[in-house]
Structure 1
């Protein structure tokens, strides 16, 4: 694992092991997203094997035990067998792993889930040891898992494990930024009493969307009060309102908390085409999110930035573009100048994607960004924006 790269070069954490995290072919959380992203970057000339880092393949038992209860870990291991015992199957609903639920158990689940955790730990180690200023693990970002149960497609909470490791090993103050359309509940509750871990989640309001939490009055408790910020947005929020809320909130958090390192979760399901939510944003926010975080990481955290994947269920039209834009920003890739010079972002590579699948749409996007001029404007645009601003002001009250 010795590296010759200068610390300024970002690392891409190899996702080969994380791709084993696969419930079934019909499940919305599918590793095809990772392969399509890699293909897009390769076709764009932005795939550099020298930046690929293969994480340790051993199971990080100690880090899993820091986050998850021992009985839950035993249940996951038992349900991961090709033929789980009847007792384990009967207990599966208790641990959020129903065969017909959102997070069904599958053969090899423990090993695949542990590999996701190991990838995010590798990204954290790369940044904290100075091997790289920035590290990306797109296989990670499973933010809904709890100490005692799976939830929302998430078995083990890799983000929480990486944060806990950085805090414990380095005494680092960690800012966790979650831009998934679903509230980052598992990470929030894990650190709800911890003043050294700030959790910031911007998401569709839990009044209408899973997991039903993440309201502005969730601010931490005891010594952790004030180290938690939620910005719940109205359904059908569009780019300008989303970005205004995100930018203002994050600037306030940075000035207030002054983190040593940033961990960001890049679920890209706030896009209008995503089938599992109601936010109506375009690719514009997925160009701007990493740009904003990148700048603030250098202003406040000496550049230390760990980025993870997350949700996103429009596998072909949205996720590859969003995640490719994230990596291009982390690399300061020259292609960004071309993307930023055109309202459409310029054309995608003509030979992308190469992957053939019966689920491949008949039409795929031709450009990096969306032409929102062709979209029907939301009739309640001004009302939605005003409501979001009202909620943002309430959310920020405790940060001054």
Structure 2
């Protein structure tokens, strides 16, 4: 049951604009680094401890309609044909500019995540990675936050429709709140949605208070841990160990889906958290271990945000890939990948985990620790 990476070059068509911060190179550079470490099986060497590459399987329009309104899908299609058309629904904004072929490109991202989840639920693989996925801000009737269609929500609703007794834990560590996924499953008791993110009082989309806990039959199956600005590995560790881990264990899912946005990194230009590359590795180890303990290791990992795309995101997601394989990678980055970064105009890191972290004064560190402990205590108090 070889783990899979769901990817093909057509996924690079999800390219909102040449100037847009969500660069498709984040994914291609990640795949290049994973391959440089020898983690992708080839015809010459298909040995164990490697991923197989699996192209997305096509999905039909009905799959999108499980989550998105028909009028919205039609608007995306119109803008896809004529990017200058004013179709509304959040399309044509600075965050979500229209582009030719947008519907097809966004649908392929959804297809990749659906393929990854199908592969794990069918028992063909225990682990799957869909690095182009994780577009968690798309809503039922509008685009938002660089996201056109909500791939995670579509994949999970589709899986639930085929397997009514399925239980899914969705864990999101992106710097931004998983608002679109939360919206899709607010009333759904079969899906636990857990989001650790920067407090919405300081960052888009402005939601994700610890008071948001679901509604109706889904009350208690939504959990949010809003962290203060500059919170880093210690804050994420505390949030995971004290809140997310015990809730997921109690929920007893059949599979875990994770969104692994790398934009909580301290150098990210769009956020204000303080994560480090080793901090992400710590989180990935915890996520992998949790899956082993509660659902036989079944884990579907998605990409997400991350805007230090040249040198940070590929390293973070390569460590994610290593965690799915249960491997400990050498810290020395292969020379071939370093040359790839230089060719794109960057100065590559030479070490996989090299990361000085943010330079914070003692007062800031103390405030972050206090505010993090406070919000976690409020969550645990119910």
TM-score in terms of structure 1 length = 0.89
Out of 238, 243, 259, the residue aligned to residue 237 of structure 2 is 243
What is the aligned partner in structure 2 of residue 52 from structure 1? 53
Q: What corresponds to 1:78 in structure 2?
A: 78
For 1:24 and 1:176, locate their aligned partners in 2 and report how far apart those are by CA, in whole Å.
Answer: 29
- The alpha carbon displacement at 1:238 in A equals 2.2
Q: Does 1:91 align with 2:87?
A: yes
Q: Which residue of 2 aligns with 1:377?
A: 360
CA–CA distance in 1 between the matches of 2:213 and 2:99?
36
Work out whether residues 173 and 261 of structure 1, in 8 Å CA contact, stay in contact via their aligned partners in 2: yes
> How many residues are paired up?
372
1:66-122 superposed Cα distances (whole Å, 9 cap, x missing partner): 0000000000001101x35x7xx2333xx0012x42001100000000000000000
The whole-number CA distance in structure 2 between the counterparts of 1:11 and 1:387 is 39
Alpha-carbon separation, structure 2, partners of 1:129 and 1:353: 38
User: 354, 371, 376: which is aligned to 1:387?
Assistant: 371
What is residue 264 of structure 2 aligned with on the other side?
270
| CA distance, structure 2, for counterparts of residue 115 and residue 90 of structure 1 | 24
Residues 60 and 117, structure 1, Cα contact 8 Å, conserved in 2: no
1:207 alignment partner, one of 201, 208, 215: 201
Q: CA deviation at 1:59?
A: 4.1
Q: What's the secondary structure of 1:303's corresponding residue?
A: coil
Larger displacement relative to structure 2 (117-126 or 298-307): 298-307
Report how far residue 375 of structure 1 moved. 5.1
Q: Is the 8 A contact 1:15 1:119 kept in 2?
A: no
Kindly indicate whether the alpha-carbon contact (under 8 Å) linking 2:195 and 2:224 is maintained by their aligned counterparts in 1. Answer: yes
Q: Is the 8 A contact 1:218 1:228 kept in 2?
A: yes
Deviation at 1:386, TM superposition (A): 1.7
SS in structure 2 at match of 1:135: strand
User: 2:60 matched to 1:66?
Assistant: no
* Whole-Å separation in 1 of the counterparts to 2:236 and 2:53: 33
Whole-angstrom distance in 2 between the partners of 1:353 and 1:34: 16
Q: 1:349 aligns with which of 313, 322, 334?
A: 334
Aligned counterparts of 2:339 and 2:19: Cα–Cα separation in 1: 21
Mapping of residues 135-146 of structure 1, within 5 Å: 135-146=128-139
Query: Which residues in structure 2 correspond to 1:173-252 (within 5 Å)?
Result: 173-252=167-246
Cα deviation for residue 366 of structure 1 reads 1.6
- 1:123 paired with 2:116, answer yes
CA distance in 1, matches of 2:266, 2:341: 25
| The one of 150, 160, 165 aligned to 2:158 | 165
Distance 2:135 2:355 in 1: 31
Q: Any idea what SS the aligned residue of 1:175 has?
A: strand
**2:4 touches 2:54 (CA, 8 Å); kept in 1?**
yes
Does the C-alpha gap of structure 1 residues 249 and 370 become closer, same or farther in structure 2, counting only changes over 3 Å? farther
The offset of 1:147, in angstroms, is 0.6
Q: Relative to structure 2, which stretch is displaced further, 286-295 or 318-327?
A: 286-295
The DSSP-based 3-state class of the residue aligned with 2:214 is coil
Match of 2:145 in 1: 152
Distance 1:300 1:242, change over 3 A: same
The change in CA–CA distance for 1:375 and 1:218 in structure 2 (over 3 A counts) is closer
Bigger shift: residues 46-55 or 197-206: 46-55
RMSD over aligned Cα atoms: 1.7
Unaligned stretches of 5+ in structure 2? 47-51
- CA distance in structure 1 between the aligned counterparts of 2:73 and 2:162, rounded to whole angstroms: 23
Tell me the SS of whatever aligns to 1:28.
coil
**Partner SS for 1:90:** coil
Structure 1 unmatched ranges of 5 or more: 1-6, 340-345
Corresponding residue to 1:21 among 14, 20, 28:
14
